[in-house]
A = this chain, B = another copy of it.
Amino acid sequence: MGLLVQHTLSVTVVCVISLLSLLRSSNSQQLSDKHSADETTERLAEREGASRGSSTCASETCESFGLTAFVGSTASLDLKCPSESNLGEDAALSLTILKSLGKNESLRPAPPVASCPTNIETPPWLLDDALTPIDKFFVRNNGDIPRRAMDQDSEGWTLTIDGIGVDGSRNFTLQQLKSFPTVTRKYPLQCAGHGRAGYRPQVGGNQWTLGAVGFAEWTGVLLKDILSYDPPEGFKGLKVLDNAVYLAWEGLDRHCEDTDAFAISRGVPIEKALDGYTMLAWEMNAETLPAAHGFPLRLIAPGYPGSAQGKWLKRLWVRDQVHDGPKMTGTSYRMPLQPLPPGHEGLTEEETSVIEEMPVYSIITSPPPCTQVKSGDSLTVRGKAWSGMGNVVMVEVSVDQGRTWTAAFLSPPVNKYAWQVWTVDIELPGKGYWEIYARATDEKGRVQPLMTPGWNPKGYLNNSVMKINVDVV
């Protein structure tokens, strides 16, 4: 028996080494090749196929015997301490990407790591600032970063507004846009895939944990002021028509593999565009929009997923139908109309609806996981909470796995859709290992779930409760 086990172990080691080296060689290719977002997703799915295959070694002996299921596991994602490296086997490429975009080296490209498109997330404990500094702000791209943005060059750039849903069409220079009344608003920006890595079975796409979100101050103009305005004498204005259904956008960015094609072209319903919150922004945290965040102009549609809030804008297209550009169709940024069994295949577009207002979320920004506290000491726990449907009205924390909850102090939002700071002093009941959960409730009565919410094939909208672990010594 002993010999057999040894043999098993050594074969396993060989398997692991072979697989890792193969994966590594495929990764190093990424530096030279360019991959589209879709291909990156496929590659991950394939890798996961391989992984699932190999982890059969484990499940055959134990897990797949499971007759039925428990509800809750405490470890759908491994806890990592801030002291541990945040970068995986793609560390070299990851660092190159972070440096090239001026990002803090404690951030990490969300796997699968690629130089195009670049996708970078922020550990929650780096989101403790009042405003998220640009070097800590997550990045989600679908195609390349346009040359013009990298060069911060707006020379000759104009924004075109046209389409069957608008009376008149116009090109605006940045200077012309800045002649409209300027507004400054603080809004979170969040990827719909934030939390994706928590779904089981795992889905393809970037494996975001809890850091595809940030909170910035945006300066620009309200979209409603641009889309319908009375011009000065002798100039032509714009007017949204009754047939307008959707505000679509096109950007300067292109597909990583096909520089003639858009990687993404999405938008928002016309009502959202005109709601008095949706903006065209040219500044972020009082700086010119950085290259990775949409220079020279981006859409900000608070409460909607980041994918709707186009960067590097070139055209706003007022349509009389729901837009059907890349990443609007199929199952992209769409949720199933009916709850699906985990792992369901073959979901069609007709069985989905486009994600609009996001659910309620919170994160714990301090202390970080793996904190040590002296027995009897009080511990200040704080974080942020936000909702796509307006204000958060309550944040609570639990130290007993969600059996009982204690309300935190919650700041009012500085403006609608702003994330809200919460803080609470707690004392842990004794020595040992504790987990602290936080959950938010919004003004619509929506509460963050303890459990991972409904599985969906693209892994969107996982707003389940975040936890940190604390050792009381």
What residues of chain B lie closer than 8 Å to A198, measured between beta carbons? Answer: 70, 73
Complex Cα distance, B14 from A23, in Å, reads 16
Interface string of A327-343 (1 = CB under 8 A from B): 00000000010111110
Q: Which of A174-182, A218-226, A416-424, A459-467 contacts B (4 or more CB under 8 A)?
A: A459-467
A75 touches B65 (CB 8 A): no
Q: How far is the CB of A1 from chain B (nearest CB, A)?
A: 6
Number of copies: 2
Q: Is A52 part of the binding interface, using a Cβ–Cβ cutoff of 8 Å?
A: yes
CB within 8 Å of B: which of A405-437?
A: 430-435, 437
A209 at interface, CB cutoff 8 A: yes
A7 to B59, CA, bound (A): 22
Question: Is the C-beta of A150 less than 8 angstroms from some C-beta in chain B?
Answer: no
Judge whether A19 is part of the interface by a CB distance below 8 angstroms.
yes
A66 to B123, CA, bound (A): 9
- Considering the complex, give the chain B residue whose CB is closest to the CB of A451: B72
The 3 residue pairs across chains A and B that have the minimum distance between CB atoms: A338-B432, A73-B76, A51-B58
Provide a sorted-by-A list of 19 A–B residue pairs whose CB atoms are within 8 angstroms.
Answer: A1-B43, A4-B26, A8-B26, A11-B19, A15-B57, A16-B53, A47-B61, A60-B89, A65-B88, A65-B197, A68-B77, A68-B79, A68-B210, A69-B75, A69-B466, A70-B77, A70-B452, A71-B76, A74-B452
Q: A197-B62, A338-B430 are in contact. Are A50 and B8 (CB under 8 A)?
A: yes
Residues in chain B near residue A1, CB distance under 8 A: 26, 29, 33, 43
Query: In the complex, are the beta carbons of A401 and B209 less than 8 A apart?
Result: no
Q: With A8-B22, A401-B453, A434-B339 known to touch, is A66 a contact of B88 (CB < 8 Å)? A: no
Q: How far is the CA of A77 from the CA of B20 in the complex (A)?
A: 27
Q: A47 CA to B55 CA in the complex, in Å?
A: 13
Q: Is A381 an interface residue (CB 8 A)?
A: no
Q: Is A207 an interface residue (CB 8 A)?
A: yes
Asked if A452 and B73 make an inter-chain contact with CB atoms under 8 angstroms apart, the answer reads: yes
In the complex, whether A320 has a CB less than 8 A from a CB of chain B is no
Q: Measured between C-beta atoms, what is the minimum distance from A45 to chain B in Å? A: 10
Shortest C-beta distance, A426 to chain B (Å), equals: 15
Tell yes or no: A92 within 8 A of B by CB.
Answer: no
Q: Assess A340 versus B452: contact at CB under 8 Å? Given A23-B60, A57-B50.
A: no
Measured in the bound complex, the distance between the Cα atoms of B469 and A340 in whole Å is 11
Q: In the complex, A19→B450 CA distance in Å? A: 37
Interface size on A (CB < 8 Å)?
Answer: 111
Who on chain B is nearest to A62 by CB? Answer: B207
Query: What is the distance, in angstroms, from A85's C-beta to the closest C-beta of chain B?
Result: 10
B-contact bits for A1-45, CB 8 A (1 contact / 0 none): 100110111011111101110110110010001000000000110
Pairwise interchain contact B430-A13, C-beta atoms closer than 8 A: no
Interface of A is mostly: mixed
Judging by beta carbons under 8 Å apart, are A64 and B78 in contact? yes
B11–A403 touching, CB < 8 Å: no
Judge whether A268 is part of the interface by a CB distance below 8 angstroms: no
Report the bound CA distance from A80 to B64 in whole Å.
8
Q: Are the CB atoms of B86 and A64 closer together than 8 Å?
A: no
CB-based contact B74/A200 at 8 Å: yes
Task: Check A402 for interface membership: any CB of B closer than 8 A.
Answer: yes
Distance in angstroms between the alpha carbons of A341 and B78 in the assembled complex: 12
| B residues near A151, Cβ cutoff 8 Å | none
A423 to B342, CA, bound (A): 27
C-alpha gap A67/B468 in the complex (Å) = 10
Interface residue? A259 (CB, 8 A): no
Tell me whether A111 and B62 are in contact in the complex, defined as CB-CB below 8 angstroms, given that A25-B4, A55-B57, A339-B432 are known contacts: yes
Kindly state the separation between the CA atoms of A59 and B20 in the bound complex, as whole angstroms.
11
Given A19-B8, A339-B434, A344-B433, A54:B51 Cβ within 8 A: no
Instruction: Give CA–CA (A14, B11) in the complex, Å.
Output: 10
**Which of chain B's residues has its CB closest to A11's CB?**
B18
* B88 with A60: CB separation less than 8 A: yes
Given the complex, which residues of B lie within 8 Å of A369, measured CB to CB? 68-69
